[in-house]
């Protein structure tokens, strides 16, 4: 399998009130084409910073990311044509309808109107969206529904790589399950490479082919979920993914979140 | 650019224009509020023109004064719309929390900004035209000497420089999510003061006159008044036309290059995101 994403020693720091916050301290990753790669870490660990660099929205201080061989900074236009993103907030024009939002998005990617409408209807049906409601303003949709529309927006452009930045955070359990099953469904039927960031250990274990644990801006462990769990055999009985996180970071996800917030 | 790439950019361009008209449709109540406000402002200016004779106690050409004030008000309304829509395009995306999706889409920034300008021109002409119709009900306007062709020419030429100015100003909300929009409004207010919207700039102190000469609005207002009040042709107004052409030719490309540069800066600083 070819490399879909190759990150080499990414360093990124932000200045906030004269203080320098080092968000990424030398991240290197390799994601193979067609796999779901999970980037796990607590809030503030650097997951979203990494996604924003891959999305061409942020320029790293050092290092580089290439997506299907194109550099995210020097060849950002080529990268933009191959990627799309679903983030924690659905991010739509709230007063506009789902169709108006989706047609706008389709236009930005150069998709003709007729083709866009065909895709919107097909994907909406497939992802369980009520077609009649697509003409309603997005502000009238539940968060779960908005997230489904965000997934339609992303897949409409047929990205070779999809960046999923905590797509299930803040959703109710049912909506969360729906979005997770959509991701599984896409994995089984399309050849889209996905980078999923999450702090939900169960979600990572369930959906990802490969995971990397990021803590305080560094990758502290990586491997297939089963392999990482195997490393704990003998130390922990019937290890869970929570135990994996504890083993490699020295703290639980809740403690790590507290620490990351404090250090920020 | 290949024909396929050109078709992609044209679709993207239409997407921006259509989205903005969809906004106008959805926010129609606010549109109504702004329309009534601008209309009332223009009518007030017209009545100030009408009332000057009573203040001065001497016989004046009231019809000329009314039209003078109305032209200032309506043209300033048009130029303000152009400037605001373009300058606030980034701020608007940030408020709606869609900025990251728009800036990661495979669209040339020039297409993005110029399409927003295209919408602003269409919307500005429609709105100002409607205000002119409503205002004409209140006053007996004498347009017998007006040269509408010249007026349209001045409007077209001045639009370029204002769009350029708007793109330069759009950089402010890009690089300063919190203070950018406030600075845009300060800049707009200063343009109003220096450009002779309701007076000739000759009445200003000398240093203000010098500043006023740098504003495209100064020449646009003078040209528009000369076309409508005196029926002048474009060649007769060359002294006002060439500065507008020059400012447009400088500001538009400069604005696009400057914006692109500052976008890179924003990407390095990490401010190209939903919240500040």
* DSSP-derived secondary structure for chain B: --HHHHHHHHHHHHHHHHHHHHHHHHTHHHHHHHHHHHHHHHHHHHHHHHHHHHHH-S---HHHHHHHHHHHHHHHHHHHHHHHHHHTHHHHHHHHT-HHHHHTSS--HHHHHHHHHHHHHHHHHHHHHHHHHHHHHHS----TT--HHHHHHHHHHHHHHHHHHHHHHHHHHHH-TTTHHHHHHHHHHHHHHHTTSSS-GGGS-HHHHHHHTT-HHHHHHHHHHHHHHH---TGGGHHHHHHHHHHHHHHHHHHHHHHHHHHHHHHHHT--SS--
User: What's the total number of domains in chain B?
Assistant: 1
d(CA A102, CA B108): 19
User: What average pLDDT score do residues A108-127 get?
Assistant: 91
How many angstroms away from the CA of B219 is the closest CA of chain A? 37
- A92 CB near a chain B CB, below 8 Å? yes
User: What average pLDDT score do residues A171-181 get?
Assistant: 83
- B6 CB near a chain A CB, below 8 Å? no
Within-domain flag for B274: no
- Residue A44: CB partners within 8 Å, gap ≥ 6? A257, A260, A261, A263, A264
- pLDDT value at A264 more than 50: no
d(CA B2, CA A170): 44
Out of B170-179, B204-213, B249-258, pick the least confident: B170-179
**Domain range for B125:** 3-269
User: What average pLDDT score do residues A75-80 get?
Assistant: 95
User: What average pLDDT score do residues A222-238 get?
Assistant: 85
Query: Which of A1 and B102 is assigned the larger pLDDT?
Result: B102
User: What average pLDDT score do residues B67-78 get?
Assistant: 90
User: What average pLDDT score do residues A21-42 get?
Assistant: 93
d(CA B127, CA B39): 10
Query: Which of A128 and B157 is assigned the larger pLDDT?
Result: B157
Chain A residues near residue B105 by CB distance under 8 angstroms:
80, 105, 108-109
Cβ separation A103–B15 shorter than 8 A: yes
Cβ separation A80–B7 shorter than 8 A: no
User: What average pLDDT score do residues B7-36 get?
Assistant: 94
Within-domain flag for B276: no
User: What average pLDDT score do residues B253-269 get?
Assistant: 95
Query: Which of B211 and B184 is assigned the larger pLDDT?
Result: B211
Closest alpha carbon within chain A to B26: A95
CA dist A108 to A95, A100, A104, Å? 19, 13, 6
Within-domain flag for B235: yes
Chain B residues near residue A107 by CB distance under 8 angstroms:
11-12, 14-16, 18
The partner residue sitting opposite A107, judged by closest CB among B14, B101, B103, is B14
User: What average pLDDT score do residues B103-120 get?
Assistant: 94
On the CB side of B27, how many CA atoms lie within 13 Å of its CA? Answer: 14
- pLDDT value at A123 more than 90: no
Cβ separation B272–A58 shorter than 8 A: yes
- pLDDT value at A237 more than 90: no
Which residue, among A85, A76, A67, has the nearest Cα to A164 in the 3D structure? A85
Which pLDDT score is estimated for B40? 93
- A111 CB near a chain B CB, below 8 Å? yes
Within-domain flag for B122: yes
C-alpha angle with apex A213: A212 to A217, nearest 5 degrees?
Answer: 110
Within-domain flag for B190: yes
Within-domain flag for B46: yes
φ and ψ at B23, to 5 degrees?
-60, -45
On the CB side of B223, how many CA atoms lie within 13 Å of its CA? Answer: 32
How many angstroms away from the CA of B92 is the closest CA of chain A? 10
User: What average pLDDT score do residues A73-87 get?
Assistant: 95
Within-domain flag for B275: no
Cβ separation A77–B106 shorter than 8 A: yes
Out of A46-50, A238-242, B45-49, pick the least confident: A238-242
- pLDDT value at A259 more than 80: no
Which residue, among A93, A207, A211, has the nearest Cα to A150 in the 3D structure? A93
How many angstroms away from the CA of A160 is the closest CA of chain B? 14
d(CA A87, CA A47): 12
User: What average pLDDT score do residues B168-197 get?
Assistant: 88
Q: What is the pTM of this model?
A: 0.89
Query: Which of A179 and B208 is assigned the larger pLDDT?
Result: B208
User: What SS3 class is residue B161?
Assistant: helix
User: What average pLDDT score do residues B146-175 get?
Assistant: 91
Which pLDDT score is estimated for B256? 94
Which pLDDT score is estimated for B59? 81
The residue assigned the tokens 């406000």 is B37
Task: Give the confidence band of B276 by pLDDT, cuts at 50, 70, 90.
Answer: very low
Chain A residues near residue B103 by CB distance under 8 angstroms:
57
Residues A129-157: tens digit of each pLDDT: 888 899 999 999 988 889 889 989 998 99
Out of A3-7, A102-106, A186-190, B241-245, pick the least confident: A186-190
Domains of chain A, first to last: 3-91+161-263 (3.40.50.300)
- pLDDT value at A158 more than 50: yes
Within-domain flag for B27: yes
Cβ separation B97–A55 shorter than 8 A: no
């Amino acid at each position: 399998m070819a490399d879909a994403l190759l990150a080499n020693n990414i360093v990124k720091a932000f200045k906030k009130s004269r203080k320098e916050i080092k968000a990424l301290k030398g991240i290197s990753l390799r994601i193979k084409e067609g796999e779901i790669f999970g980037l796990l870490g607590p809030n503030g660990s650097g997951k979203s910073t990494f996604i924003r660099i891959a999305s061409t929205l942020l320029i790293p201080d050092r290092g580089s990311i290439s997506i299907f061989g194109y550099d995210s900074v020097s060849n950002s236009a080529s990268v933009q044509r191959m990627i799309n993103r679903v983030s924690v907030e659905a991010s739509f024009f709230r007063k506009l309808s789902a169709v108006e939002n989706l047609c706008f998005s389709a236009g930005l990617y150069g998709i003709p109107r007729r083709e866009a409408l065909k895709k919107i209807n097909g994907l909406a049906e497939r992802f369980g969206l009520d077609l009649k409601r697509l003409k309603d303003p997005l502000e009238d949709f539940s968060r779960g529904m908005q997230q489904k529309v965000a997934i339609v927006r992303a897949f409409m452009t047929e990205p070779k790589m999809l960046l999923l930045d905590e797509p299930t955070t803040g959703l109710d359990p049912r909506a969360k399950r729906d979005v997770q099953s959509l991701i599984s469904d896409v994995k089984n039927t399309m050849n889209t490479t996905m980078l999923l960031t999450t702090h939900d250990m169960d979600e990572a274990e369930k959906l990802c082919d490969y995971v990397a644990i990021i803590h305080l801006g560094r990758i502290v462990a990586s491997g297939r979920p089963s392999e990482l769990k195997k490393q704990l055999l003998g130390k922990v009985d019937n290890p869970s993914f929570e135990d994996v996180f504890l083993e490699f970071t020295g703290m639980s996800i809740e403690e790590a979140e507290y620490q990351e917030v404090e250090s920020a | 650019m290949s024909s396929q790439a050109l078709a992609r950019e044209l679709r993207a361009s239409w997407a921006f224009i259509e989205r903005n008209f969809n906004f106008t449709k959805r926010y129609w109540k606010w549109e109504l509020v702004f329309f009534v406000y601008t209309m009332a402002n223009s009518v007030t200016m017209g009545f100030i023109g009408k009332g000057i004779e009573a203040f001065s106690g001497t016989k004046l050409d009231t019809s000329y004064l009314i039209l003078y004030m109305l032209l200032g008000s309506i043209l300033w309304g048009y130029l303000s719309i152009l400037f605001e829509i373009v300058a606030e395009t980034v701020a608007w995306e940030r408020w709606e929390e869609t900025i990251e999706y728009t800036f990661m889409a495979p669209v040339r920034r020039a297409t993005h900004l110029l399409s927003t300008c295209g919408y602003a021109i269409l919307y500005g002409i429609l709105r100002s035209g409607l205000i002119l119709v409503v205002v004409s009900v209140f006053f007996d306007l004498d347009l017998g000497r007006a040269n509408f062709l010249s007026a349209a020419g001045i409007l077209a030429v001045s639009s370029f420089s204002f769009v350029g100015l708007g793109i330069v100003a759009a950089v402010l909300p890009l690089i300063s999510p919190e203070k950018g929009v406030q600075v845009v409004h300060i800049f707009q207010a200063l343009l109003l003061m220096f450009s002779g919207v309701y007076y000739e700039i000759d009445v200003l102190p000398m240093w203000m006159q010098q500043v006023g000469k740098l504003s495209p609005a100064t020449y646009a207002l003078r040209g528009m008044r000369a076309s409508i009040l005196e029926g002048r042709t474009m060649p007769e107004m060359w002294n006002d036309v060439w500065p507008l052409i020059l400012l447009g030719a400088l500001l538009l490309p400069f604005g696009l290059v400057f914006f692109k540069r500052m976008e890179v800066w924003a990407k390095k600083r990490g401010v190209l995101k939903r919240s500040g």
